[in-house]
Amino acid sequence: MEGDDNEPSSTEHHDNTMSSSPYRLHSSPNPPQRRQRQKHADDDQQHTGDDDDEYSSDDDDYSEEEEEEEEMSIKELMYAANSYHTIAKPVTITMILAALAVIFINTQTTIEQGAAQMASTYYVFSLDTSSDSKTTTLAKSFINTLVMVSAICTMTFGIVLLYKFRCMKLLIGYMIFSSATLLGVLGGVMLEVAVDKYRIPMDVFSFVFGLYNFALVGIIAVFYQRGVPSIVTRAYLVATSVILSWQLSHFDDWTAWTLLIMLALYDLCAVLTPCGPLKALVNLMSRDDAPEMPGLLYEAELPSTSNRQQQNQQQQLRSLSQIQQRQKQREQTISSTQSLQHSEPAVPASSDAPNAVSSSLE
């Protein structure tokens, strides 16, 4: 009996000791609180993962954009190099052919005769390097070239006025006449010098007939341009420049260098200044109602212009599709996280947590 009486007392003492301990509730939390804490930890981890995914996707976007910019910069660099090659090629060919023509289609007699003809036609003051000083020779050559450039400027303004007032028949007629004279007459002089120098057998009829066909085909190729291959038109434009260079090479050294500098300065003023005739002509031709005027302009075709436009369009479509795919992926991740949050069961709040702990211990 005594043992039975002492058993409850020991049990009560053990219960009182456990209940009075301040670490009892903290040592063994109830299951609802554990689940709730685990849920908060999972939510925090999920939000952290979503943020990491967003950061990684942003980094991927930046890297892809940088790669696209690098690809576009390389393409633009190649396109600029090809454009420069397209423009520099005819200029280089013209300079080489002009230099060869001046060297190989000339004799000492033709050089002296050409210099005398140029002096009698274009010089205001005759040059005598043997008696005149260098300053006097330079001043005379400067005045002579100034008169030539002034005549060129006046004729250019006349062309601008004819184009502005729509005198197209008169303008095209003048340009056809000047081109025919250059190809037929000056080209004939150049061909005659070559025939005499290299003893080429040719009769008068063949010479005249060849020059006539050469000038006629050149006018059709430059001004009509229908049914004529573009390479023929470009060849005639190069030939026109070579013939004119050969004719201007008969100036003396002082006049040639002075004329070169004056023409360079005149071109800068005519193109860049607001009152320049060439700038005014370009502005008139850029209007919507401006009539077409075929002339002595070398038109270079840029390489694969249509292919470059198609590549740009394909690149834009590809970038748009990538952006749409990224947006869909983000929407899918957001909807999946929301569905996971809604699918988790709600944990009921327990008000009698100490009683549940004590009952579980018992």
330-346 burial, b for 16+ CB within 10 Å, e for fewer?
Answer: eeeeeeeeeeeeeeeee
CB 189 within 8 A of CB 249: no
Confidence at 247, pLDDT banded by 50, 70, 90: very high
Torsion, CA 244, CA 248, CA 250, CA 252, rounded to 10: -170
- pLDDT attached to residue 85: 80
Q: Is 302 helix (H, G, I), strand (E, B) or coil?
A: coil
- pLDDT attached to residue 304: 55
Confidence at 146, pLDDT banded by 50, 70, 90: very high
Confidence at 335, pLDDT banded by 50, 70, 90: confident
- pLDDT attached to residue 39: 52
What single-letter DSSP state applies at residue 337?
H
Q: Write the CA distances from 121 to 106, 124, 181, integer angstroms.
A: 20, 9, 17
Statement: residue 89 has pLDDT above 70: yes
pLDDT digits (tens, 9 = 90+) for 181-229: 999 999 999 999 999 999 999 999 999 999 999 999 999 999 988 888 9
Residue with tokens 């280089």: 92
Statement: residue 325 has pLDDT above 60: yes
Give the pair of three-digit tokens for residue 259. 């004329």
Please state which of the ranges 123-132, 306-315, 348-357 shows the lowest mean pLDDT.
348-357
Q: What is the pTM (predicted TM-score) of this model? A: 0.65
- pLDDT attached to residue 338: 65
Q: Where are the domains of the chain?
A: 68-300
Closest CA to 198 of 304, 104, 313: 104
pLDDT digits (tens, 9 = 90+) for 35-66: 555 555 555 554 444 444 444 555 555 565 56
Distance CA 187, CA 101 (A): 12
Distance CA 101, CA 96 (A): 9
**How many Å from the N-terminal Cα to the C-terminal Cα in the chain?**
25
CB 138 within 8 A of CB 258: yes
